[in-house]
Amino acid sequence: MNTAIDQVIQRNDTWLGRNTATVQRSLATGYRKLDEQLYGNGWPLGNTVELLSDGNGLGAMGLFLPAMEQLSQQGRWQAFIAPPYTPYAPLLEARGIDVQQVLLVHPQSRQDLLWSIEQALRSSTCSAVFAWLGAAEFRYSELRKLQLAAAGSDVFSVLFRARQAAHNHAPAALRLEMKEYRRVHILKQRGGNQYLDVNLGVEDDIPGQPQLWELPAYPAAESRQASAFSA
């Protein structure tokens, strides 16, 4: 596709008519109100999702626990690339997530970070890829390369970025902002509604299971001690 046209299509203010012949593969979020507002009624698969927040995405991980629980049944890796902290294994286990399937990757450079994300997205051995890009600036072409790597796959891919990135164009099929506790703002959605808030109530909480929205974590310096997450 022509690069200039492609960038126009990806803009937030470009409306795309729905093609009833096209079915987007999706994964239920575990939150009824959010599913109702998402095109495809769930997280888009084979595309990148951006989550923008001021807290490195840590306070938003609760949003993805139901999806991780579903994907854990596939027996494939769930890759955490450049996480600022090591996720708390007991919480994941309590939610039915097999920690032996969680793969932690710690790239040493920007180039290694992008390469690791791309390889994980292209790999059929991963069911989910969670990657932390931090507050760094990324070119549209770099993000587009990740989007292309995800295309055609069934991988659930989430890129955590700083909220300041909301002002820049990005090729992700879905861009979300976490502005408040249990409130998700849909900044961009390919083929669906945009610029709206979704309040996630307690009715979707699972009785008897942890409902924490921020994963307890060890400092990064202690990550080597989390043997349950060793690759």
> Would residue 170 count as lying in a domain?
yes
CB 131 within 8 A of CB 104: no
pLDDT digit string, tens, across residues 135-163:
889 999 999 999 999 997 899 999 999 99
Return the higher-pLDDT residue of 132 and 21.
132
> Would residue 201 count as lying in a domain?
yes
> Would residue 18 count as lying in a domain?
no
Q: Is 90 exceeded by the pLDDT of residue 69? A: yes
Q: Is 90 exceeded by the pLDDT of residue 43? A: yes
Give me 167's structure tokens.
Answer: 């002002």
Residue 7 vs residues 2, 4, 189: alpha-carbon distances, Å: 9, 5, 14
pLDDT of residue 85: 84
> Would residue 3 count as lying in a domain?
no
Q: Is 80 exceeded by the pLDDT of residue 169? A: yes
> Would residue 138 count as lying in a domain?
yes
pLDDT digit string, tens, across residues 3-40:
554 454 444 444 444 443 335 689 999 999 999 999 99
pLDDT of residue 2: 46
Q: Is 80 exceeded by the pLDDT of residue 129? A: yes
pLDDT digit string, tens, across residues 75-92:
999 999 999 888 888 888
> Would residue 65 count as lying in a domain?
yes
CATH for 34: 3.40.50.300
> Would residue 13 count as lying in a domain?
no
The three-point CA angle 160-163-165 to 5° equals: 85
Backbone angles phi, psi at 36, to 5 degrees: -65, -25
pTM score, whole prediction: 0.81
Give me 157's structure tokens.
Answer: 């891919």
Domain containing 205: what range?
24-229
pLDDT digit string, tens, across residues 171-190:
999 999 987 878 899 999 99
Mean pLDDT, rounded, for 206-220: 59
> Would residue 191 count as lying in a domain?
yes
Q: How many structural domains are present in the chain?
A: 1
